[in-house]
Amino acid sequence: MMMMTTNTPFLNQSALAVHQAIQSGETTAVSVLDATYVHIEAHEAQVGAFLSLTKDLAYDYATEVDKKVKAGEKLPLLAGVPIAVKDNISVQGAKTTCGSKILETYVAPYDATVVKQLKDRGMPIIGKTNLDEFAMGSSTENSAFQLTHNPWNLNKVPGGSSGGSAACVSAGMVSLSLGSDTGGSVRQPASLCGLVGLKPTYGLVSRFGLVAYASSLDQISPFGRSVADVAALLDVIAGHDANDMTSAQFKPETPYLNSANPEALPQRLGGKKLKVGIIAELNGEGMDASVQQAFQQSVKLFEAQGAEVVTLSIGGIREMMAAYYIIAPAEASSNLARFDGIRYGVRTKEKVENVYDLFRKNRSEGFGAEVKRRILLGTFALSSGYYDAYYGKAQAARRLLVAEFEKAWQQVDVLICPTSPTTAFDIGAKTDDPITMYLSDVATIPINLAGIPALSLPCGFDEYHLPIGLQIMAPKFAETTLLGVASLFEDAIGLKNLIPSAFKSTGVCPV
């Protein structure tokens, strides 16, 4: 294969820059895709981001994009930009394993709504990314198939459960990917991998075609290396979907990409001064010193940009860990009941005595330890005599949390806190201690319970040059404000389009 050095190493650039280069004819969608797969081939063995690649599908869409450019057509937003998709999101004709042995051979017969939206925009889907089994985990170590490594330090975890989607963007393989966020599964790996990760308002993005973990918490969510790229991808995937009964009838006044601009923020705030709230309960206690230092510097940076910063309390927010680990496993125990080896899933090869024995062996062999743990927790919480004591009280606590956030929005425009209490930890460091692992999501879980949008973006590095993330929260359906504030901070701190030096593209593309 002949090689040539391009004037611009497109893989190091933003998704919007790549799209513009394709539209202008500076490069082609097929050339970008060629370079993408060369980069993946060079680094995938180190990173382990992908469970499968969908080359034929990707080249079909890249070829169509190039035909449109040649014909002089104006492309849809992000057309030609390669994207990776978490392997719990259905792509027709491709494996959708959810990182589980029980779905090892399952091929999706239809597209998720978000996948259809990507295809309609001409975005080549390059492959399916690794995850904690059924999205249950915070390190991507629960995958039944492989480990995923953090590109900033290959001995560290990338976070989870969307660790593969985070790692492939962090390693420069793609500029955009989709994950799912149930309790922090996009924001926490975004923090650990130096990315922007957005959990939209519950209902803003269709869940149709997402294999459900906890239906009242799950939300498909974008990763990128800049706020503008994430905003552009949100424009592609957001919108009402009749196939999803929880899909919201909401449309923003302006495109989200237009809001990802500090200059648009004053108008959004009605000319008022930006008011930023610090959550007292998530400030200091349990945070690494480097994380707390970066957070305090972030607060000063907001003040330097003219924001008024106040500290306020969100009552019961730390108790939401307990509520989450009742609600999420309870919904999981119901959602995962279908994976029995008869309707869905791999069937045991052992001899069975009856249908109950078949169910037991199928599920015992097919599910990993963490999935079994959460199914058992959820089944117990929903069992006769315990429903009101556990699930009922957890839902009551959730309603109180929503009320607490509503009170906060009367005082501030956004809330901030560290995204993760630590930077990326060693592979294997927390696998034998589930409680410690669960605490990785102490700051992100309340957002899913409340259904509000939140975004993580880089705010510094620790002493080992591992990324630290800042979480910004906003009221329901206030993504335009959230993106404006995030872009203000991003411009001020100057940390975007981050790629570890070992993974930067050389600019060499095949022809």
DSSP per residue, 108-141: -SS--HHHHHHHHTT--EEEEE--SGGG--SSS-
Written as one letter, the residue type at 399 is R
Per the CB < 8 A criterion, the answer to whether 214 and 123 are in contact is: no
- Give the span between the Cα atoms of 179 and 182, in whole angstroms: 10
- Give the span between the Cα atoms of 454 and 443, in whole angstroms: 11
DSSP 212: P
State phi, psi for 486 to the nearest 5 degrees.
-65, -40
In the sheet with 50-53, reading across from the earlier edge strand, the strands are 50-53, 125-129, 83-86, 176-180, 220-224, 196-199, 454-461, 467-473, 414-418, 275-279, 308-312
Query: How many CB atoms within 10 Å of residue 365?
Result: 16
Written as one letter, the residue type at 73 is E
Query: How many CB atoms within 10 Å of residue 410?
Result: 6
Residue of 86, 116, 128, 199 marked catalytic = 86
- Give the span between the Cα atoms of 339 and 337, in whole angstroms: 5
- Tally the residues of the chain: 511
161 in catalytic set: yes
- Give the span between the Cα atoms of 133 and 144, in whole angstroms: 7
Residue of 14, 138, 185, 206 marked catalytic = 185
Q: Where are the beta strands (DSSP E) in 374-491?
A: 414-418, 454-461, 467-473
139 in catalytic set: no
185 in catalytic set: yes
Provide the CA 123 distance to its chain's centre, in angstroms.
18
Reduced to 3 states, what is the DSSP secondary structure of residue 311?
strand
Residue of 143, 161, 177, 333 marked catalytic = 161
Provide the CA 355 distance to its chain's centre, in angstroms.
38
Query: How many CB atoms within 10 Å of residue 263?
Result: 9
| Residues classed as catalytic | 86, 161, 185
